[in-house]
Amino acid sequence: MPSRLLLVRHGQSEWNEVGRWQGQADPPLTELGRAQARAAARAVGGVDAVFSSDLQRAKQTADVIADCLGVGPVIADTGLRERDAGEWSGLTRDEIHERYPGYLPDDRHRTFAPGADHTHRRPPGWESDDELLGRVLEAIQRVHHVVGDGDALVVTHGGVIYVIEGKLGEPFARLANGGGRWIEVDGDDLGLGERVLLVNDDGTPVTVPTEI
């Protein structure tokens, strides 16, 4: 019984707004982030269930969408959390360049796949692609077991979606707040669907964080 899951990046958070890397820190949504969640709800269509990371920027986004859709309660799963950014959590890109010169790769050289981040230097406490992918795949299986052959919205984080795309051979491209990727889950097999942007049809501003 294949499930169709729409993995969606949360709305703009307070740290997204100022360019701070979040990792597993827990800043809330901005007012724009809440507006993006409402716009996403109008665009997402019908789903059978809504899941989210337990971090509040994702959970708040999911709660807004679920309330608008009349689907709930939202099921929060710690396995859907953002990557632990270690000592980079709370820093801006400029601060990372200053304190860790040469560590951040150019976007053209970014990859998110098993073993890929071994080619780049990372700070203490950084969660590797392999570690991130392992726990995210376990969480996706939990969603699959609940949803069966239905459709689910899964509100999560940029790093989570990037590592799934990387596993399935998709090259890296930045994802907006409220952007997402459809995947199909059939047992242990994953299939890659289309990318979507859920906040671009009603004039709600689109924001594209450059963290992670």
Nearest Cα to Cα of residue 211 among 152, 171, 159, 161: 159
Nearest Cα to Cα of residue 6 among 141, 176, 152, 148: 152
CA distances from 3 to 30, 48, 108, 138, 170 (A): 32, 10, 32, 15, 20
- CB atoms closer than 10 angstroms to residue 45: 11
In this predicted structure, what is the pLDDT of residue 118? 56
100 contacts: CB under 8 Å, gap ≥ 6? 88, 121, 123
71 contacts: CB under 8 Å, gap ≥ 6? 47, 48, 49, 50
- Position 212 in a domain: no
Q: Are 133 and 83 in contact (CB under 8 A)?
A: no
Q: Domain containing 36: what range?
A: 3-197
In this predicted structure, what is the pLDDT of residue 114? 62
In this predicted structure, what is the pLDDT of residue 110? 63
158 contacts: CB under 8 Å, gap ≥ 6? 9, 82, 175, 209, 211, 212
- Position 210 in a domain: no
Domain count of the chain? 1
Residues catalogued as catalytic: 10, 82
Q: Could you tell me the pTM of the whole model?
A: 0.94
The tens-digit pLDDT sequence of the chain (212 residues) is 799 999 999 999 999 999 999 999 999 999 999 999 999 999 998 999 999 999 999 999 999 999 999 998 999 999 999 999 999 999 999 999 999 998 987 766 566 666 665 567 899 999 999 999 999 999 999 999 999 999 999 999 999 999 999 999 999 999 999 999 999 999 999 999 999 999 976 789 999 998 87
Angle of CA points 80, 84, 86, to nearest 5°: 175
In this predicted structure, what is the pLDDT of residue 202? 76
- Position 208 in a domain: no
CATH number, domain of 149, equals 3.40.50.1240
- For residue 75, the surrounding DSSP H or E stretch is strand 75-76
